[in-house]
Amino acid sequence: MQATAEISQSALSHNLSLVRDLCDESGVVSMIKADAYGHQLALITPIINDSDFLAVSELSEAKKLREKTKKPILLLSGVYSQEELQSATNLGCHIVVHEKQQISLMMSAKVSTNVWIKIDTGMHRLGLLANEYHQSIEFFKTNPLINIECVMSHFACADEIDNPMNKTQLNEFNQLTDNSVKRSMANSATILSNKEALFDFVRPGIMLYGISPFGQDDKTLKPVMQLSAPIVSIKTIQTGESVGYGATWTAEKETIIAIIGIGYGDGYPRHAKNGTPVCINNELCPLIGRVSMDLICVDISNIKADVGDIAILWGNDKISAETVAAYSNTIGYELVTGLSSRVRFTQTA
């Protein structure tokens, strides 16, 4: 009766080769933060083996990843204390410096250390401002233990291809840097839309997992996670009868409903609207009523289905995480990273 997330190894390989095809001059830094966007580190071996770099957000993630691979690890949050600096260098991490306080901390490194300087080109989240960046370069040059491996920045609106901010940020980046350093700007949306911003390293995340950053299905990507759950009950209800908490959906005619063993306690979005498609026996059926913690209800009047049949919530060619996200007022990223420990994860070819 458990919900299951199957992680496709061939889809991971396909999506990574697509990145290689689109960016044949650039090194690939695969983003595997947040337990590989919820796909689980243990189940994404093709990405771990075939990327040039692996990037995580936090030291705790770098520690877990180091147990699995000798590949270079990029630590996106950087370090905030001597202890963290030492742990990160012991793990052999490349360390991002994005905050001015981190500059002097890096200067105290006792062993040779690879640094990625992150600059703020307009997103105003992480990154050194222009003057801080120039200062950091001056400081780091005086320390033979510090190697500036790359200068990076991040787009605020890469998923909106025509947003003028993309051009503004790219201009700013090109003004602050030149090809005397290695550079990196591109996330998935940029890789898929802007050849001028690929530089020396690209940083694909969501596209590796087969989800489009643009929120619509992209047939060149293969979905990696297929989320499914069994039908646990079927019943017929009559005109005027309602379904679920709050009785928010009422039958306008005799309706056959299937109750499926997944809910927001597993990570299926509670805000999924009436009509969100669910795939059963290769047909799409509409979600009806509110999503509850352990269960959802689906109108199966138009299809053949039995208790025990498997419903696919997202990740086959009929129903994508992007579609479910659109029906739930969120993004595919949030859905895949949000599955709970109750979901059983397995690996498929």
Q: How many residues bind ligand PLP (CB under 6 A)?
A: 12
Closer Cβ to ligand PLP, 203 or 222, answer by number? 203
Burial of 338: CB neighbours in 10 Å, binned 0-12, 13-18, 19+: middle
**Residue 70 a catalytic site member:** no
- Judge contact between 292 and 264, C-beta under 8 A: yes
Which single residue brings its beta carbon nearest to ligand PLP? Answer: 205
Closer Cβ to ligand PLP, 203 or 290, answer by number? 203
Closer Cβ to ligand PLP, 78 or 244, answer by number? 78
Give CA angle at 301 (245, 226), nearest 5°: 75
Residues 75-134 that bind ligand PLP (CB under 6 A): 76
Q: Of these residues, 33, 118, 264, 333, which one is catalytic?
A: 33
Q: Of these residues, 110, 141, 235, 245, which one is catalytic?
A: 245
- Judge contact between 186 and 23, C-beta under 8 A: yes
Which tokens hold the place of 107?
């200067």
Residue 320 binding ligand PLP, by CB under 6 A: no
Greatest alpha-carbon span in the chain: 79
Closer Cβ to ligand PLP, 269 or 332, answer by number? 332
Residue 38 binding ligand PLP, by CB under 6 A: no
HSE-up (13 A, CA, CB side) for residue 229: 27
User: Cα(127)–Cα(151) distance, rounded to whole angstroms?
Assistant: 10
- Binding track, positions 203-232, relative to ligand PLP; x by CB under 6 A: xxxx------x-------------------
Amino acid identity at 34 = A
Closer Cβ to ligand PLP, 96 or 287, answer by number? 96
Give least dist CB 292 to ligand PLP, A. 30
Residue 43 binding ligand PLP, by CB under 6 A: no
| 13 three-state secondary structure | helix
Of 94, 154, 183, 290, the one binding ligand PLP by CB under 6 A = 154
- Judge contact between 223 and 211, C-beta under 8 A: yes
What is the sign of the dihedral through the CA atoms of 325, 328, 330 and 334? negative
**Residue 33 a catalytic site member:** yes
User: Cα(325)–Cα(163) distance, rounded to whole angstroms?
Assistant: 22
Q: Which stretch binds ligand PLP (CB under 6 A): 201-209, 253-261, 304-312, 323-331?
A: 201-209
* DSSP alpha helix (H) spans, 75-183: 82-90, 100-107, 130-141, 164-176
- Judge contact between 297 and 244, C-beta under 8 A: yes
Residue 150 binding ligand PLP, by CB under 6 A: no
Residue 244 binding ligand PLP, by CB under 6 A: no
Residue 188 binding ligand PLP, by CB under 6 A: yes
Binding site for ligand PLP (CB under 6 A): 31, 33, 76, 154, 187-189, 203-206, 213
